[in-house]
Amino acid sequence: MASMAERLAASVNVSAFSKATELKKRIWFTLGVLIVYRLGTYIPVPGIDATGMAQLLARHQGGILGMFDMFSGGSLGRMTIFALNIMPYISASIIIQLMSHALPSLEALKKEGEQGRKKLNQYTRYLTVFIAMIQAYGIAIGLENMTGNGGVTAVINPGVFFILSCVITLVGGTMFLMWLGEQITSRGVGNGISLIIFAGIVANLPHALASLFQLSYTGALSPAFVLLFLVLAGATIAFIVFMEQAQRKVIIQYPKRQVGQRQYGGESTHMPLKVNTAGVIPPIFASSVLLIPVTIAGFLNSESTPKWLAFLGQEFGQGRALYMVFYAAMIVFFSYFYAAVTFNPQETADNLRKQGGFIPGIRPGANTAVYFDRILTRLTTIGAAYMVVVCLIPQILISHYNVPFYFGGTSLIIIVSVTIDTVTQVQSHLVAHQYQGLLRKSRGSKVKKR
C-alpha cells in the first residue's frame, strides 16, 4: 500500500514537473549561468606563467590558498579572472550583517522593508569592491615576491603594469560573479551565491576521486582503507543531511477574537528553529583564521621568517594537536557569535507579542525572550558539537593519510546544505505551479457556469 502511494506521488511530481514550463526555464537559465562561470575559471589573468603558478600553489597547498582554491573551483591555482571567486562578496555581506546589529543607522535601514534592503545591498556591493581591491592587490604583490624551486616565478613581467592589470581583472571578475549570482537568485533556482560556490567545489570532486584511487593504485593507500573512507564519507553526508534538516519546533498559540458574529484566531502553529543556526560560516572563518600563520610563513624565506611565526606555522599545520584544539574552539566561538547575531530573542518576543501570539505556559515579553534564548543556547551547543565532529574527522584523514582536500568537512557541509536548499526551491516552484493550475481551473469552471 505504501509503495503504491509512493509511486503515485512520484508520478504526480513527474507530471507536475513536465508541465511546469516556468520552472524548466529557471533550471536551464541556472545551468547556463553555471556553464559561463566554469568557462571563466579557465581564462587566465594577463602576465601569469601557468607552470610557475602550479608549482607555487603545490608548495602552499596546505595553507589558506588551498582552501580558497577549493572554493574557487581551481581558479586560484590556474590564476584566472575568477581567482577571488565570490568570497569578497560573502565577507562584505557578513560584515554588513554584523554592523547592522551594532550601528543604529544600519539597524534602522534593516527595519524599513524593501527600500532598506536595497540600500543595504548597495552598501554590500561597495564594500565588496573595496575588499576585492585589497585582496587583488595583495595577491599581485604576493605573486611577484613568491619564488619556487630553482627560482621559478609565477609572473612573467613584474611591475606596475602587471599589478594594475591583475587588480582590475580580479576585481572585475568578482563583480561579474556577484552579478551572475544575483541573476540566478532572481531568474534561476535557489541562492545564486551559494550555487556558484557549490559548482566550484563539485567541479573538482571527480579529480579528487581520481587522486584517491590513484593513491590506492600506487600503494600509498590500501584498497581496504579507500573503501572504508568512502563508506565513512557516505555516513558523514547522511549525518550532515540529518543535522541540517533538524529543527526545534516552538508551539505558538494565537487567541480567539470575536468580530461581529464571526470568531477569528485560536489556531496553533509553530516556529521552526534550526539546530545549526550559524550554517557553514563557523568552519569557514575558523579555517581562514588558523591558516593565516601557515600561509605567511610559507611566503617568507626561511632566513627572514621570525622564530615565533615559524613556530606558529609549524604547530598550526593541519593535523597538529594545537591546530585541532584551536580549530574546534574557534568553530564553537563563531557558532555562538553568529547565532547571537542572526537571531535576536528579545526582538522575536516583541514581534510575537505585537501579533497577539504567545507560547503556551510562557508569559509574553521578557519571559518569552528568556525562553527563546535558552532554546537557542541549547540548539547552538548541539550544532557546534556537530560541526566540530564533522570538520575534525576529515582533517585527521587529510593530514595523516594524504586524502584530497575536497573531502573536508567544510566542503561536504556546503554541498549538502546547498543541495537541500535547491531541492526546496524546486519543490516550492512546483507547488506554486500546481496552485496556479488549480486557480485557472476554478476560474474556468465559474465562467462555464455563467
Beta bridge partners of residue 358, listed in sequence order: 253
What 3-state DSSP class applies to 80?
A: strand
Give 179's pLDDT tier (boundaries 50, 70, 90). very high
Picking from 66-75, 95-104, 122-131, 134-143, which range would have the lowest pLDDT averaged per residue? 66-75
pLDDT of 330 strictly over 60: yes
CA distances to 26, 48, 144, 171, 282 from 156, rounded to whole Å, are: 43, 6, 9, 21, 38
Tell me: pLDDT of 430 over 90.
no
Q: Is the pLDDT of residue 305 over 60?
A: no
Give pLDDT, residue 264.
58
Burial of 142 (0-12, 13-18, 19+ CB in 10 A): middle
Inform me whether the pLDDT recorded for 447 exceeds 70: no
The pLDDT confidence band at residue 211, using thresholds 50, 70 and 90, is: confident
User: Cα angle vertex 233, ends 229, 284, to 5°?
Assistant: 120
pTM: 0.76
Identify the residue with better confidence: 307 or 89.
89
The pLDDT of residue 112 is 77
240 or 215, higher pLDDT:
240
Greatest mean pLDDT range, 17-31, 32-46, 110-124, 216-230 = 32-46
Q: What is the pLDDT of residue 61?
A: 58
pLDDT of 279 higher than 90:
no
Give CB contacts under 8 A, 24+ apart, made by 66-72: 66/405, 67/287, 67/288, 67/291, 67/405, 67/410, 70/200, 70/201, 70/204, 70/405, 70/406, 70/408, 70/411, 71/197, 71/200, 71/201, 72/41, 72/200
Q: In this model, does residue 2 exceed pLDDT 60?
A: no
Distances in Å between the Cα of 387 and the Cα atoms of 70, 243, 270 are: 19, 9, 26
* Overall average pLDDT of the 237-258 stretch: 83
> Position 350: which residue type?
D
Read off the pLDDT band of 311 (50, 70, 90).
Answer: low
Q: Which residues contact 60 (CB under 8 A, 6 or more apart)?
A: 66, 295, 298, 299
Nearest CA-CA partner of 409 in 321, 331, 292: 331
Average pLDDT, the chain: 78
- Return d(Cα 66, Cα 69) in angstroms, integer: 5
What is the reported pLDDT for 32? 92
Q: What pLDDT is attached to residue 87?
A: 82
Q: What's the pLDDT score for residue 9?
A: 44
Residue with cell 549538502: 416
Over residues 373-387, the mean pLDDT reads 91
Angle made by CA atoms 442, 445, 449, in degrees to the nearest 5: 140
Q: What domains are there in the chain, each with its CATH number?
A: 26-186+195-203 (1.10.3370.10), 205-417 (1.10.3370.10)
Highest mean pLDDT among 12-26, 163-177, 246-260, 333-347: 163-177
Q: How far is Cα 38 from Cα 72, in angstroms, rounded to an integer?
A: 10
Q: What average pLDDT does this structure show over 282-301?
A: 66
Residue 4, pLDDT score:
41
| pLDDT > 80? residue 125 | yes
Min mean pLDDT across 83-97, 215-229, 259-273 is at 259-273
Query: Mean per-residue pLDDT for 135-152?
Result: 75
Is the distance from CB of 249 to CB of 400 less than 8 angstroms? no
Mean pLDDT of 255-268: 64
Mean pLDDT within 250-255: 82
Q: What is the pLDDT of residue 320?
A: 72
Mean pLDDT of 385-410: 72
